Structure 1
Amino acid sequence: MLDIVLSLLGMIVASPFILVLIIAIKFTSKGPILFKQKRIGIHKRPFNILKFRTMKIETPSDTPTHLLTDPNQYITKIGKFLRKSSMDELPQLWNIFVGDMSIIGPRPALWNQYDLIEERDKYGANNVYPGLTGWAQINGRDEVSIEEKANLDGQYVKNITFYMDIRCIFGTILSVFKADGVLEGGTGSNKEVASSKERL
């Protein structure tokens, strides 16, 4: 219920800003406003995640950013801002509202990110709703390895509490303002960062 109420409130409050982003995306690059992608949800059930499109339409589909050769060449003019500020994730408020996702949880893996999905199985992290943000997001994001990301997701699953969710929310706000852990085309490039961060 909290997910439904907060996501609805978020869509209402953010609607003027969302409208501005829609106009900006439409008039700065060719292609649809929204980007749909098959992701893995609770119990590994697939669903279509929504994002504001930040990549050019000729970008290879269903390819994680870190597997693209020079991913910056595919990012649109406004896309760099949207990705760095995480504003491209705003349409996922709808995913939360309809029950595909939660506000807090492991970030949903691509359907073909088999290594991440397999690692998360070890910690039961595929058995909870994926989130708009989560513990791994505020502890390294793109900078941590697949193994470390799954481990952080497991820490969240093991310690799910309202207090933990509040920590993730405020940690996300801080990370967005600082643009922490945003590394286009990289994953696990700074394993020491996550390893040295606070643990539960």
Structure 2
Amino acid sequence: MRILDISIATIGLILSFPLMIIMYVIGLFDTGSPLFIQERVGRNRKAFNLVKFRTMVPETESVASHLADSSSITPIGRFLRRTKLDELPQLWNVLKGEMSLVGPRPCLFSQIELIEERESRGVLEARPGITGLAQVTGIDMSTPQLLAETDAAMLRSLDLKHYFRYIVQTVTGKGSGDRVRSGE
């Protein structure tokens, strides 16, 4: 699947480049810092820097999305999350070999329970992905055991048909994205 990752990521970056420039400029006005770069757990627990478009104010604490407060999401950020356009810069992570288009979403090193659950199921042996079964079925990092079980099941059954199915389902809006806490 690596050849597909490289091919699709390259085409995706070329085709979305004008849109990403526009989103970058809008992000400058929205948050002053349009890109969000965060260290994540990669394949075999190797650290890598995930790149996304910023959807929250820059002062937001660096925690898993389900622990972040929804009031820190900007109006432009809501749109980017809903349309999943905030994920486009991760195509660069795919080209670099740090991620795949389809795989378990990379977590933070502070998510110890999820890392342990994934490690016990062999999930960390795979490249993390932009999307996968958990994302299109609405399972997020707030349920570590269920997420790790879902990731492991996806990896066991991942074939060409499922690879494209998860990508198409993500692009067409299936799944709700990572939850965030409601503002107090």
Q: TM-score scaled by structure 1?
A: 0.83
Q: 1:152 aligns with which of 145, 150, 153?
A: 150
CA distance in 1: counterparts of 2:165 and 2:114, whole angstroms: 24
Question: How do 1:44-193 residues align onto structure 2 when only pairs under 5 Å count?
Answer: 44-61=45-62, 63-68=63-68, 71-142=69-140, 145-174=143-172, 176=173, 180-182=175-177, 184-185=179-180
Q: TM-score scaled by structure 2?
A: 0.90
Shift, 1:29, TM fit: 2.3
SS at match of 1:100: coil
SS at match of 2:18: helix
CA distance in 2: counterparts of 1:77 and 1:169, whole angstroms: 26
Q: Which runs of 5+ in 1 are unaligned?
A: 187-200
Deviations for 1:98-153, whole angstroms, at most 9, x for unmatched residues? Answer: 11101110011111111111111122111000011111111123387221111110
Identity of aligned residues (%): 38
The answer (yes or no) to whether the contact 1:142–1:181 under 8 Å persists in 2 is no
CA RMSD of aligned residues (A): 1.7
Could you list the structure 1 runs, at least 4 aligned residues long, displaced by more than 6 angstroms after superposition. Answer: none
CA distance in 2: counterparts of 1:27 and 1:141, whole angstroms: 32
Q: Which runs of 5+ in 2 are unaligned?
A: none
Shift, 1:66, TM fit: 1.7
How many aligned positions are there? 179
